[in-house]
């Protein structure tokens, strides 16, 4: 046996239930490496080819990384929802939710019905981790084995009261205090049927944050200042969201927590945070990024598509839309603004129909992008929205945008 391949061949053989000639393993391994397949992926591929099962790696939820395969975890199911998705024109039911151990909480997706219920403590083998909204998500696939346990997850006690600005994705056993600014009760489809949950905006002295309550409690009313214990944090679109469930202790405070909106927030301070909710920044538009102007979206999932092809649904009927991706800078820092068609029309004064005419006359959609550049570059704007960090950099998804009054006067 060739010495450099010896340990890797031995590892592959240990994962197999049948005898495969060593020279065959070396030959196949060499071929994959010649095609620049990473060594770890090549070994995993050969184990699968030969009908073996790779030994799983035990992981704590705090330590899991996007791209990991064949991991083993033990955790407690916090929530489960059922949804129907359309994958290549085939409807499929899957189950998503949140699982936690003593180190963290993470979202999960189960591609089969493992009969999971909130409170179940489970052992999962042959799970894998994918990226979901810039966060690692555990997936239970066709090869995964889920076993229910009788043990309990021992979550460390936490007496420290955290400010809302200190909350991070994956935090468990959260103890915090805030005032409820507004509430929206809506219905979702869970494993056991429709269920009403509360979506709300919370605020302490200097930070706003969305919350989701999986139980309807009398303390959750607009204007109430409350204390919560044993809550958990799950990010949605890059913004941490505080979650309240049956295990959370909620009590009304005697004192009032007053939120004070900050004026003159510097972009340099904003981009130092992991995320920020409902903030206002102001600066000059330095550039309009490619992908601005008239765009096409998938009629099924609203993803941006090219030449009528969606990466999820294949060839689809497309629908026209508009957006702006702009870099705004105030001298202390810069970030990207993303504005939808409503705000694009508001600040540029062109509708989707007018944008289509511009593209048709010039025989190019880029003409709309160029028109936006002429109207916006160098101008000063204020924008309100939610900031998050991801693979595309620091982004403010804008809910409103306007030209400041003092700029108009000048």
> What tens digit of pLDDT does each residue of 119-134 get?
899 999 888 898 887 7
Q: Give pLDDT tens digits for 177-186.
A: 999 999 999 9
pTM of the prediction? 0.69
C-alpha distances in Å from residue 223, one per residue of 214, 217, 226, 259, 309: 19, 14, 9, 11, 48
| Tokens 């993470």 sit on residue | 106
pLDDT at residue 144 above 90?
no
Contacts of 298 (CB under 8 A, 6+ apart): 305, 310, 312, 313, 316, 318
11 vs 291: which has the higher pLDDT: 291
- Confidence (pLDDT) at 409: 56
pLDDT tens across 18-72, in order? Answer: 677 888 888 888 888 888 888 878 877 887 777 666 566 788 998 998 888 888 9
> Is the predicted pLDDT of residue 219 greater than 50, yes or no?
yes
Percent of the chain with pLDDT strictly greater than 70: 93
Angle formed by the axes of helices 341-348 and 366-376, nearest 10°: 50
d(CA 74, CA 123): 4
Lowest pLDDT segment from 8-22, 72-86, 192-206, 290-304: 8-22
pLDDT band for position 2 (cuts 50, 70, 90) = very low
Structure confidence by residue, pLDDT tens digits, 361-406: 998 889 999 999 999 999 999 999 999 887 778 999 999 999 998 7
Split at pLDDT 50, 70, 90, the class of 88 is low
pLDDT at 32: 84
| Mean pLDDT value across the chain | 86
Give the pLDDT confidence score for residue 102 in this predicted structure. Answer: 87
What mean pLDDT comes out for the span 78-85? 83
Res. 151 pLDDT band, cuts 50 70 90: confident
d(CA 73, CA 115): 17
State residue 114's pLDDT score: 92
Looking at residue 235, its pLDDT comes to 85
**Amino acid 54: pLDDT:** 59
CA distance 58 to 290: 43
Closest CA to 112 of 89, 88, 135, 143: 143
Which two structure tokens, joined as six digits, stand for 270?
């904003």
Candidate from 155-164, 167-176, 345-354 with smallest mean pLDDT: 155-164
pLDDT tier at 234, thresholds 50, 70, 90: confident
Most confident of 151-160, 254-263, 299-308: 254-263
* CB neighbours of residue 133 within 10 Å: 14
């Amino acid at each position: 046996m060739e010495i450099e391949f010896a340990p890797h061949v031995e590892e592959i053989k240990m994962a197999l239930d049948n005898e495969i000639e060593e020279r065959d393993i070396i030959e196949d391994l060499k071929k994959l490496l010649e095609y620049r397949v990473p060594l770890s992926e090549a070994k995993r591929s050969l184990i699968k080819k030969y009908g073996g099962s790779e030994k799983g790696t035990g992981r704590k939820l705090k330590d899991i990384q996007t791209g990991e395969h064949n991991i083993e975890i033990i955790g407690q199911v916090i929530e489960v929802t059922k949804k129907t998705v359309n994958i290549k024109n085939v409807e499929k039911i899957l189950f998503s939710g949140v699982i936690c151990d003593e180190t963290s909480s993470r979202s999960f997706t189960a591609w089969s019905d493992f009969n999971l219920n909130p409170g179940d403590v489970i052992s999962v083998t042959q799970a894998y981790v994918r990226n979901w909204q810039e966060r690692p998500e555990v997936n239970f696939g066709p090869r995964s084995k889920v076993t229910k346990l009788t043990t309990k997850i021992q979550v460390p006690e936490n007496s420290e009261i955290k400010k809302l600005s200190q909350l991070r994705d994956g935090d468990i056993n959260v103890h915090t205090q805030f005032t409820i600014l507004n509430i929206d009760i809506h219905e979702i489809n869970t494993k056991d049927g429709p269920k009403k949950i509360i979506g709300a905006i919370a605020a302490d002295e200097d930070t706003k944050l969305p919350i989701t309550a999986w139980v309807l409690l009398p303390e959750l009313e607009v204007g109430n200042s409350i204390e919560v214990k044993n809550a958990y944090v799950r990010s949605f679109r890059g913004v941490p969201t505080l979650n309240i469930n049956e295990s959370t202790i909620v009590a009304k405070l005697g004192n009032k927590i007053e939120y004070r909106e900050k004026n003159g927030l510097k972009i340099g301070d904003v981009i130092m945070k992991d995320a920020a909710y409902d903030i206002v920044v102001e600066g000059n538009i330095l550039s309009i990024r490619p992908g601005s102007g008239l765009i096409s979206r998938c009629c099924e999932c609203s993803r941006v598509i090219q030449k009528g092809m969606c990466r999820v649904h294949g060839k689809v009927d497309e629908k026209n839309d508009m957006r702006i991706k702009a870099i705004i800078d105030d001298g202390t820092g810069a970030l990207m603004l993303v504005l939808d068609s409503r705000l694009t029309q508001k600040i540029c004064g062109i509708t989707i129909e007018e944008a289509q005419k511009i593209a048709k006359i010039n025989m190019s959609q880029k003409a709309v992008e160029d028109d936006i550049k002429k109207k916006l570059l160098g101008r000063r704007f204020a924008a309100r929205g939610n900031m998050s960090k991801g693979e595309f950099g620091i982004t403010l998804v804008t809910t409103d945008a306007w030209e400041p009054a003092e700029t108009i006067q000048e």
